[in-house]
């Protein structure tokens, strides 16, 4: 039995393509991280250290799940240089289905 909450503006919900939920090549951890990321606003800036504060998992657990999503092409990560030319932050692109973004 599945019991669902009433959905309205006070009980918001997320609509996602469920392909990743059914993917057998993803762990439950990776599926949970991806669902959480897809529930965020499109313009949300992703910082792993900040994400780790939203769960009881530690940063290394989060990073292993993120790596799995990167390896399976659900997340694309690019290193960004600051004005001095040094690497500063990562830019993340999160997709609902695997994609090969360069």
CATH, residue 83: 1.10.10.10
Instruction: Record the tokens describing residue 42, joined without a space.
Output: 């499109």
| 74 inside domain | yes
| Measured CA distances, 77 to 1, 46, 53, 72 (Å) | 39, 10, 20, 12
Question: Domain total for the chain?
Answer: 1
pTM of the model: 0.84
What pLDDT band is residue 73 in, cutting at 50, 70 and 90?
Answer: very high
Domain region containing 28: 19-94
Which residues lie below 8 Å from residue 95, measured CB to CB, with a gap of 6+?
73, 74, 75, 76, 101
Residue 30 pLDDT:
96
* Predicted local distance difference test score (pLDDT) of residue 4: 65
Res 2 pLDDT > 60: no
46 occurs within a structural domain = yes
Q: Report if residue 11 sits inside a domain.
A: no
* Residue 38, in any domain of the structure: yes
3-class secondary structure, 94:
strand
The answer to whether residue 2 is domain-embedded is no
Domain presence at residue 10? no
Look at residue 67 and tell me if it is in a domain.
yes
pLDDT digits (tens, 9 = 90+) for 18-72: 899 999 999 999 999 999 999 888 888 899 999 999 999 999 999 999 999 999 9
Q: Which pLDDT does position 1 carry in this prediction?
A: 58
Task: Give the orientation angle of helix 59-71 with respect to helix 28-39, to 10 degrees.
Answer: 90
Residue-level pLDDT at 102: 62
């Amino acid at each position: 039995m599945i019991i669902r909450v009433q959905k309205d503006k006070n009980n918001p919900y997320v609509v996602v393509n469920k392909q990743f939920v059914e993917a057998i090549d993803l762990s439950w951890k990776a599926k949970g991280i991806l669902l959480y990321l897809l529930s965020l606003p499109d313009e949300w800036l992703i910082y792993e250290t900040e994400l780790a504060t939203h769960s009881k998992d530690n940063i290394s657990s989060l990073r292993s799940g993120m790596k799995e999503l990167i390896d399976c092409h659900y997340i694309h990560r690019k290193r960004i240089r600051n004005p001095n030319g040094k690497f500063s932050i990562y830019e993340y692109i999160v997709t609902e289905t695997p994609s090969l973004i360069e």
